[in-house]
Amino acid sequence: MLRDTSYVNAMSHFYRGELGRIMVWRQRLDVTTTWAITATSTIFTVAFSLRDVPHIIFFFNLAIVSVMLWIEARRYRFYDAFHARVRMLEAHFLVPMVMGRPETLEGDWRKLVAEDLLIPAFKMGVLEAVGWRLRRNYIFIYVIILGAWFAKVFLHAPTPIDSPGAMYRALAVGQIPGWLIAIVMLGVFVGTLSTVLVVARKFAGEINEFGATARSRWRI
């Protein structure tokens, strides 16, 4: 079929169209990350500029970043679904074209692509998508928020923190006890780290690391 001009032209346009689609979704991923960083930097400015602002403002920061993470994970599932089609075409259409060997076509890939065009389906679950966006970008944002929270507590504490008791009193905000704030804040980060570790162990990455030897072959 690789010698059929109409087939090759149709598949080439199909590949280019799918490539453009995943680029659009890739740009949408950048938008949500940008908003998360912008919101975080704004809250940092307010928190450290005004001493009277309680450190619990970082809970609001976590809520905003978590919402952005959820939206980005949803977008990442769409990106991954269309990216899977592109990889299918690259592996089973472009590679035989480059190698000049039609016999390298493997599997019933045309049927898989056709079924996916008729009934589109996600290729990853919600938890996996959240985990990948955490691992790629959001884990760093969460860690920075945690560091800023500790800095706010120490810098703007009502009394100098020189003992565990003073630290506990500094955590309390109004009627909210310090232990509750500590549990919520640390629980968020333990859950975040656990999700990243689970995803890193259970799921394969989008791009593999082959080592310096393989990379050297790509030097121009």
The predicted pLDDT at position 35 comes to: 94
User: In 10 A of CB 172, how many CB atoms?
Assistant: 17
The answer on pLDDT for 136 being more than 90 is no
User: In 10 A of CB 131, how many CB atoms?
Assistant: 25
- Of 59-68, 192-201, 203-212, least confident by mean pLDDT is 203-212
Domain ranges of the chain: 5-207
User: pTM here?
Assistant: 0.81
In the chain, pLDDT over 70 holds for what percent of residues?
85
Q: What are phi and psi of 176, to 5 degrees?
A: -90, 120
Alpha helices in the chain (DSSP H): 5-49, 57-89, 95-99, 109-118, 126-133, 139-155, 164-171, 178-202, 212-216
Q: What is the DSSP string of 99-135?
A: HT-GGG--SSHHHHHHHHHHS---SS-HHHHHHHHII
Taking only the tens place, the pLDDT of each residue in 69-121 is 999 999 999 999 999 889 888 888 888 877 777 666 666 788 888 888 899 88
The answer on pLDDT for 41 being more than 80 is yes
Q: How high does pLDDT run on average in the chain? A: 82
Q: Are 122 and 80 in contact (CB under 8 A)?
A: yes
Q: Give the integer Cα–Cα distance in Å for 63 and 55.
A: 14
Q: 220: pLDDT confidence band, cut at 50, 70 and 90? A: very low
The answer on pLDDT for 211 being more than 60 is no
